[in-house]
């Protein structure tokens, strides 16, 4: 009879999810603030940031990449979001609403939040690309 021992040293699997932030966006067109004749389209978006990791982390800054339908790119960097730098405990979420004006009726936004974990580790939380579109413009 052969016995096998699994004494391999493996990294702590809990580290895989230590620094995990999920981000979702819900955009909407603001017709009352837009003026299509002047190529001015205003959108609001609600962002939900959730700490899916197992260590507290603070959102320190943001980096947005905004692209309009003419492929013009605008980059926005700044501290925090809506004047705050929320500290998220594991399982906690933070939600905020902000806005963006474009010269075209369709565009996209994506980017990242720069985070600092409770243990001092810096990491980025990716913001998946989402579409800004006037209703009924996209088929």
Report pTM: 0.85
Per-residue pLDDT tens digits for 18-71 = 999 999 999 999 999 999 999 999 999 999 999 999 999 999 999 999 999 999
> In which residue are the tokens 């609001």 written?
44
Nearest to 74 by CA among 104, 95, 54, 48: 104
Cα separation, 115 vs 46, whole angstroms:
19
pLDDT tier at 136, thresholds 50, 70, 90? confident
């Amino acid at each position: 009879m052969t016995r096998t021992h699994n004494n391999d040293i493996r990294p702590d699997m809990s580290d895989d999810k230590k620094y995990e932030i999920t981000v979702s966006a819900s955009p909407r067109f603001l017709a009352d603030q837009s003026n299509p004749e002047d190529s001015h389209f205003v959108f609001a978006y609600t962002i939900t940031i959730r700490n899916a990791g197992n260590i507290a982390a603070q959102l320190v800054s943001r980096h947005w990449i905004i692209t309009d339908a003419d492929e013009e790119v605008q980059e926005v960097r700044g501290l925090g979001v809506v004047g705050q730098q929320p500290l998220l405990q594991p399982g906690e979420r933070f939600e905020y609403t902000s806005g963006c004006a474009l010269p075209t009726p369709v565009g996209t936004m994506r980017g990242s939040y720069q985070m600092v974990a409770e243990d001092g580790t810096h990491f980025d939380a990716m913001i998946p690309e989402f579409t800004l579109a006037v209703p009924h413009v996209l088929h």
